[in-house]
């Protein structure tokens, strides 16, 4: 994950923390980081079907806008590799200019889910911060 953020997104990891699978704690941290003006929050784990998997629910309760097309893109690309990708409940959304992306807990699945989003993340970050160029040609 660190390598993808630094090399593909040209970003830096400014915060890293392991939280327990508790919805209120996850919500609190997402709110705290978005209010600090963090550009991108990547969560890992908690997107499956066990009773403890509550990251998508926490994310849905704090985001202002949801980007379901990005969720679908992760699903489509994941299904090319394994039918188990269909079990993901990952959410992508924004709050106060911060993009929040839920990723699976499996390290290979993290890469498989995040890489397809790399081309659109920089544009979306500009958009949610109100910096998008009008009529930008994005067909690539």
For 113, the 3-state DSSP assignment is helix
Total count of domains within the chain: 1
Q: Is residue 8 part of a domain?
A: no
pLDDT of residue 140 exceeding 70: no
Measured CA to CA, the distance from residue 134 to residue 50 in angstroms comes to 43
For 40, the 3-state DSSP assignment is strand
Q: Is residue 138 part of a domain?
A: no
Q: What is the pLDDT of residue 5?
A: 80
pLDDT (average), residues 62-82 = 97
What are the structure tokens assigned to 46, written together?
Answer: 């908690």
Domain harbouring 23, CATH code? 3.40.980.10
Q: Is residue 39 part of a domain?
A: yes
Q: Is residue 62 part of a domain?
A: yes
pLDDT of residue 137 exceeding 80: no
Measured CA to CA, the distance from residue 2 to residue 15 in angstroms comes to 11
What are the structure tokens assigned to 20, written together?
Answer: 């327990």
Measured CA to CA, the distance from residue 117 to residue 73 in angstroms comes to 8
Q: What is the pLDDT of residue 15?
A: 82
Q: What is the pLDDT of residue 133?
A: 66
What range defines the domain where residue 104 resides? 17-128
Q: Is residue 51 part of a domain?
A: yes
pLDDT of residue 81 exceeding 60: yes
> pLDDT tier at 64 (50, 70, 90 boundaries)?
very high
Q: What is the pLDDT of residue 9?
A: 86
CA atoms within 13 A on the CB side of 50: 8
Residue of higher predicted confidence among 11 and 81: 81
For 102, the 3-state DSSP assignment is strand
Handedness of CA 123, 19, 61, 33 (dihedral sign): negative
Q: Is residue 118 part of a domain?
A: yes
Of residues 51, 73, 67, the one with CA closest to residue 117? 73
- How many Cβ atoms from other residues are within 10 Å of residue 27's Cβ? 18
Q: What is the pLDDT of residue 138?
A: 57
Global pTM reads: 0.91
């Amino acid at each position: 994950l660190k390598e993808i953020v630094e090399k593909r997104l040209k970003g830096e990891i400014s915060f890293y923390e392991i939280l327990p699978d508790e919805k209120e704690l996850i919500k609190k941290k997402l709110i705290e980081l978005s209010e600090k003006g963090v550009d991108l929050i990547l969560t890992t784990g908690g997107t499956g079907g066990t009773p403890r998997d509550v990251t998508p629910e926490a994310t849905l309760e704090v985001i202002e806008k949801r980007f379901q097309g990005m969720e679908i893109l992760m699903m489509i690309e994941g299904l090319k590799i394994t039918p188990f990708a269909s079990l993901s409940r990952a959410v992508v959304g924004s709050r106060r200019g911060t993009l929040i992306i839920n990723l699976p807990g499996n390290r290979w699945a993290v890469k498989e889910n995040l890489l397809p989003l790399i081309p659109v993340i920089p544009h979306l970050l500009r958009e949610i911060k109100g910096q998008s160029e009008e009529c930008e040609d994005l067909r690539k």
